[in-house]
Structure 1
Amino acid sequence: MAKPRIVDAHHHFWDAERNYHPWLRDQPPIPFRYGDYSGLRRVYLAPDLLADAAAYDVVGTVYVETEWDPRDPVGEMDYVARLRRESGLPSVAVAQAWLDREDAPALLERLAGFDFVRSVRHKPRANPAPGDGRPGGMADPAWRAGFAELARNGLRFDLQTPWWHLHEAVDLARAFPDTTIILNHTGLPADRSAQGIADWRAAMAGVAACDNVMVKISGVGVRGQPWTVEANREIVLTTIDLFGTDRAMFASNFPVDGLCASYDEIYGGFERITAGFAAEERARLFCDNACRIYDLTPRGG
């Protein structure tokens, strides 16, 4: 039987022994949503990903910036270019860019010069809990001025923010309709209480109404709990219901989500949850949407 064909729409490679990633090198460790992340302080490159994903035909991948040394975001893409020459992966990349810095316009122009860079990510400042009503980073004029430079450079934006800031993402999407925004990690639905799910769904519905917003179904692990179909079925199906099968895509977030589950448990879970979908719908979620949204040519065409 042929292996299922996938494009992993969100993963990381790193070698913190050779390159400076503050969160992987410095002490003490930073607060992390999955808790202890000491298991990530190791080399993780293309052979490791392909070994983890051995049950699947990985025809393409999207590398996402790794909190590399913030003084040298171009250096990370130079490193990715070398990885591509050595292993053929990743297919495309999401680069680091600090949108609220004065050099943002020049930096975005340099990043767009890499023929494999499709998007950038700068996690906007977020409040620690939904009850905190202070504006987040997406409302900052300097940050938005940097964001305004994306379309001119043909770049998308990968947005990682908790669901209680998605009203700001709605405003951003409407203010910049020509920029594709790709919501990372399903809006981070960590609170699985009935009220937590209801509030997350309402926030997701708002941003899903914006046609220029896509979503990656990934990063849905919960600290201290196993990754199971039962735990994540509602999250996955609700996201697909809101965004449709044309604007959603599956991703591993490896090696980070390896803290919660194996690659097979995550992708096998996605397979089981969507078992009742039409074949063309599953093809879009597992492969085709990532190719279209990130302008990625899969191996084998």
Structure 2
Amino acid sequence: MHAPHAPVRPQWLAQVSEAPLDPNRAIIDAHHHLWDRPGQRYLAEDYLADIACGHRLVASVYVQCRSMLAVDRPEPFQAVGEVEYANGVAAYSASGVLGELRLCAAIVGGANLLLGDAVAPVLDEMLQRAGPRLRGIRNTTAWHADPRLISNPRPPPPGILLEPAFHRGLAQLQRRGLVLDIWAYHTQLGEVLEVARTFPELLIVVDHLGGPLGAGPYAGQRDAVFARWSADLRQLAQCANVRLKLGGLGMKVAGFDHHVASRPPGSAALAAVWRPYLLQAIDCFGAQRCLFESNFPVDKGMFGYGVLWNAFKRVVADFAEADKDRLFSGTARETYKIEG
């Protein structure tokens, strides 16, 4: 599979290292992946190496990425393998060998919701394998007609979020008290809004700030995109069942292109370009419904892990302590029912 993200270059990243700001602040990384792909290996030990940067990570949320699929099983059940793998990592961490850190404390699996009612046995087996650690499901849904705007190795067809079969799958999700994670571009926020209104009892987590695009036809259109994204985000925030992850701006589709510079950005530079998006998002949803994410290793091609969290901390440095606690850990803990 072709990787649509900036390649990770350890020597390039090593040029910039920062001491952690506010190092005692508890952090739950609300969105990361683990995988082993040709030329792209990012397993638990790689993630642990990244988080050994001085910030106080207490837990993480694993999110589906079509990794560790059970290839010998029928296609609908192959995604159970990914949940089993993440649960194994979580079990290892839960032994206390990593101190207070609980890796993969919550798992967002990848059951195909387009199966409609037929997704029920897949969800049930995932719950059987992972127990209460399985907290949600995400499908590949980010789509744009422009072929330059691809953020998944296997892009989806258009309109999945509005398919009747998908909605039947959502009903099965809701029945089991699971969260729906959605990765959609800002051009799809109207579809996300329709889902949120159709399923007001379903807890929905919108990934990566709702995908404000800055590449392809949106290059050089940042002000126009920001205006449309802001308006749609504010409308979406009227749905009390929606939460928003803050991050994901290190993907190529966001158009910031830090990877083309001779040196990676420091946290002050990242904070400067991210501040309008983060503050607007928090203004729309409130700290009570926002949660910070790393989106590693996807965003690792643009900046280092410690730099990322320092950038977030810079942007909200003047916030009340209670709001910081919500953004960095509280909202994630509540949303994904993480104990501790």
Counterparts of residues 288-299 of structure 1 (less than 5 Å): 288-298=330-340
Q: Is the 8 A contact 2:66 2:79 kept in 1?
A: no
Code of the aligned partner of 2:189: L
Counterparts of 1:225-264 in structure 2, within 5 Å, are 225=258, 226=265, 228-264=270-306
Which residue among 27, 49, 70 is the counterpart of 2:47? 49
Where 1:100 maps in the other structure, the secondary structure is helix
SS in 2 for 1:249: strand
Structure 2 residue 17 is the aligned partner of structure 1 residue 3: no
Equivalent residue, structure 1, for 2:85: 79
Residue 145 of structure 1: which of 168, 177, 181 is its match?
168
Aligned counterparts of 2:138 and 2:161: Cα–Cα separation in 1: 12
| Matching residue's letter, 1:104 | V
**Higher mean C-alpha displacement, 117-126 vs 242-251:** 117-126
What TM-score, normalized to structure 1?
0.84
Q: Are the counterparts in 2 of residues 62 and 91 from structure 1 also a CA contact under 8 Å?
A: yes
- 1:56/1:2 CA distance change after superposition, 3 Å: closer
Deviation at 1:135, TM superposition (A): 6.5
Aligned 8 A contact 1:112 1:154 in 2 = no
Equivalent residue, structure 1, for 2:115: 101
How far, CA to CA, are the matches of 1:146 and 1:139 in structure 2? 12
CA 4–143 in structure 1, closer or farther in 2 if over 3 Å, else same = same
Alpha-carbon distance, 1:2 to partner: 5.1
Indicate yes or no: 2:238 matched with 1:204.
no
RMSD of the TM alignment (CA)? 2.0
Q: Which one has the bigger helix percentage?
A: 2
Q: Which residue among 109, 123, 131 is the counterpart of 2:140? A: 123
Cα offset, 1:260, TM superposition: 1.1
Where in structure 2 are the equivalents of 1:20-59 lying within 5 Å? 24-25=37-38, 41-45=40-44, 47-54=45-52, 55-59=54-58
- Alignment coverage as a number of residue pairs: 271
- Partner SS state of residue 181, structure 2: strand
TM-score of the superposition, structure 2-length normalised?
0.75
Task: Answer yes or no: is the 8 Å Cα contact 2:106–2:134 preserved in 1.
Answer: yes
Calculate percent identity across the aligned residue pairs: 32
Moved over 3 A (4+): none
What 5-or-longer segments of structure 1 have no aligned partner?
17-23, 26-37
Residue deviations 1:24-44 (CA, integer Å, cap 9, x gap): 34xxxxxxxxxxxx5xx0232
CA contact (8 A) 1:112 1:153 kept: no
